């Protein structure tokens, strides 16, 4: 077997191997409460491995993200460590109001056994989470205000580990936090949540790996990098409306609702030549404050700052006639 074939086969095997490894890490992390010592350690480890893969399996259309590195770091940290906590503080009192005042308990159900055996609860959690995130994601592309928030995630010029969590906090919370808070107050078995929740986050994170790793048959079950690149394509495939491949963790919802797109040529998945804002109308936004405030109509350049910029640039000079 030639070196080229070995390299290709390894890029094909790396996805299922890593999915299993990442799930094992997240499951063990929950069992042994490692998050108490190093919060989000498993996500940080996954992102680190993604960075390594991007260096080993170089993607031919890769675009450097160094110019927006500061924005990426800030947005990743905010959405990893702040958005979920703040959303919980705001939303949980509302969600627990009904069971506390009308049922006189913290959870909707008195016992997890009311939802059936643990294996059934695991299946229900995985399907409910993935189904709801699929439709929330579709709405984020079709509802103008939601798109205003979500569009910043689509202005990135390449999907890479560094911009996995680049998103407006409200946009991120709607897609990635609310459904888990809802499930938390229903009363599912803690064991079912322990098994199911890690499984719902792995492919959603890994889908932003910028390395040239192959999904193979897994493309039709999970959202792999090959599948997710088409969702970020600057040119939306003809006949797909706002976009394609809306699934966050599983691609079978796209197949069911006819939004799946992955052209294959000679047994190899083709990839878009350019990632970016649909239609290419807007460049990436490197200013995190703009990403945060512009969609809410709160961003206004300070007059003194505007004047300072003008002073630095100097007066405009008229161009001499040719």
In a domain, 321, yes or no: no
Length of the chain measured in residues: 322
What integer is the mean pLDDT of 40-53? 93
In a domain, 313, yes or no: no
In a domain, 281, yes or no: yes
The predicted pLDDT at position 322 comes to 43
In a domain, 229, yes or no: yes
The predicted pLDDT at position 31 comes to 78
What integer is the mean pLDDT of 109-121? 89
Query: Structural domain tally of the chain?
Result: 1
264: three-class secondary structure by DSSP = strand
The predicted pLDDT at position 303 comes to 61
Q: 122-166: per-residue pLDDT in tens? A: 999 999 999 999 999 999 999 999 999 999 999 999 999 999 999
Q: Say if residue 312's pLDDT is above 80.
A: no
Q: Say if residue 14's pLDDT is above 50.
A: yes
In a domain, 319, yes or no: no
The predicted pLDDT at position 319 comes to 46
In a domain, 222, yes or no: yes
In a domain, 76, yes or no: yes
Give Cα 112 distance to the centre of its chain. 30
Four-residue CA torsion sign, 186, 189, 190, 191: negative
Phi, psi of 255 (to 5 degrees): -65, -45
- Mean pLDDT lowest for which of 36-45, 65-74, 246-255? 36-45
Q: 254-297: per-residue pLDDT in tens? A: 999 999 999 999 989 999 999 999 987 789 999 999 999 999 98
Q: Which domain holds residue 66?
A: 3-303
User: Whose structure tokens read 């929330």?
Assistant: 136
Alpha carbon distance 286, 283 (integer Å)? 9
In a domain, 285, yes or no: yes
């Amino acid at each position: 077997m030639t070196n080229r074939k070995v390299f290709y086969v390894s890029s094909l095997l790396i996805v299922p191997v890593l999915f299993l490894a990442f799930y094992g890490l997240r499951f063990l992390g929950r069992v042994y409460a490692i998050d108490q010592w190093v919060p989000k350690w498993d996500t940080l480890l996954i992102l680190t491995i993604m960075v390594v893969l991007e260096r080993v399996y170089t993607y031919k259309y890769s675009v450097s993200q160094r110019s927006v590195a500061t924005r990426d770091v800030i947005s990743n940290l905010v959405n990893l460590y702040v958005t979920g906590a703040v959303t919980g503080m705001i939303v949980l009192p509302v969600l627990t109001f009904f069971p506390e005042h009308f049922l006189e308990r913290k959870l909707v159900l008195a016992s997890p056994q009311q939802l059936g055996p643990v294996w059934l609860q695991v299946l229900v959690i995985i399907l409910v989470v993935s189904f709801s995130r699929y439709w929330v994601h579709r709405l984020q592309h079709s509802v103008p205000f939601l798109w205003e928030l979500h569009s910043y995630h689509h202005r990135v010029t390449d999907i890479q580990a560094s911009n996995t969590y680049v998103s407006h906090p409200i946009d991120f919370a709607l897609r990635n936090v609310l459904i888990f808070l809802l499930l938390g107050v229903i009363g599912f078995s803690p064991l079912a949540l322990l098994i199911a929740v890690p499984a719902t986050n792995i492919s959603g994170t890994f889908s932003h790996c910028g390395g040239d790793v192959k999904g193979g048959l897994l493309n039709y079950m999970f959202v792999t990098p090959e599948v997710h690149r088409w969702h970020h394509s600057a040119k939306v495939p003809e006949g797909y409306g706002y976009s394609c491949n809306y699934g966050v963790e599983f691609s079978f919802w796209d197949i069911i609702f006819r939004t799946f797109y992955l052209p294959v040529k000679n047994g190899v998945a083709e990839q878009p030549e350019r990632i970016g804002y649909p239609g290419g109308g807007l460049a990436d936004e490197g200013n995190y404050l703009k990403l945060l405030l512009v969609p809410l109509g709160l961003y206004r350049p300070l007059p003194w700052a505007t004047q300072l910029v003008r002073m630095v640039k100097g007066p405009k000079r008229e161009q001499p006639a040719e």
